[in-house]
A = this chain, B = another copy of it.
Amino acid sequence: MTRYNRQLQGASSHSLGVPPWGHSDPTLSEHAPPSWIERLALRKLLVLLGNPDIQFVLWNGDKLPDTCTPQTRRLHIHDRHTLWRLALNPDLNFGDAFTRGTLEVEGDLVGFLEAIYRAAPAANRQSPLIKLLGEWRNRARPNSTADSPDNIHHHYNLGNDFFQLWLDEEMVYTCAYFPTSTSSLEQAQRAKMDHVCRKLRLQPGETVIEAGCGWGALARHMARHYGVTVRAFNLSHEQIRYAQDRAAAEGLDKQVEYIEDDYRNIAGRCDVFVSVGMLEHVGRANYQALGGIIDRCLEPNGRGLIHSIARDQPCPMNAWIEHRIFPGSYPPTLREMMEVFEPWGFSVLDVENLRLHYAKTLEHWLARFDARRDTVRERFDEDFVRAWRLYLAGSLAGFTTGWLQLFQIVFTRPGLNDIAWTRDHLYAKRT
A-side residues, CB < 8 A to B, are 118, 122-124, 177-181, 312-314, 333-335, 338-339, 341-353, 355-356, 400-403, 405, 414-417, 419, 421-424, 426-428
Contact = CB atoms under 8 A, between A and B. Distances in A.
A355 B348 CA distance: 11
| Residue of A403, A415, A419 contacting most chain B CB atoms (<10 Å) | A415
28 contacts: A122-B345, A122-B414, A124-B345, A177-B422, A178-B421, A179-B422, A181-B421, A312-B341, A312-B345, A312-B346, A312-B347, A312-B414, A333-B338, A334-B334, A334-B342, A335-B339, A347-B405, A348-B351, A348-B353, A350-B351, A356-B419, A402-B414, A402-B416, A402-B417, A422-B427, A423-B423, A424-B427, A427-B427
Nearest to A350: B352
A234 to B, nearest CB: 29
Given A423-B423, A423-B426, A427-B428, 19 more contacts: A118-B415, A124-B344, A177-B422, A178-B421, A313-B342, A313-B343, A334-B334, A334-B351, A347-B355, A349-B353, A350-B351, A356-B419, A356-B421, A401-B415, A402-B417, A422-B427, A423-B427, A424-B427, A426-B427
A302 to B, nearest CB: 14
B402 A352 contact: no
B334 A123 contact: no
Nearest to A348: B334
Contact of A343 (B118, B124, B405): B124
A342 B405 CA distance: 13
| Residue of A179, A427, A428 contacting most chain B CB atoms (<10 Å) | A427
Contacts of A123: 345
Given A179-B422, A421-B181, A427-B427, A335 B342 contact: yes
Nearest to A410: B353
Given A122-B414, A313-B342, A421-B181, A402 B347 contact: yes
Contacts of A421: 178, 180-181, 356
A426 B177 CA distance: 17
A200 to B, nearest CB: 15
A403 B180 CA distance: 38
A119 to B, nearest CB: 11
A206 B312 CA distance: 26
Contacts of A423: 352, 423, 426-427
A315 to B, nearest CB: 10
- List the 5 closest A-B pairs by CB distance, nearest first: A402-B415, A335-B338, A351-B351, A427-B427, A349-B353
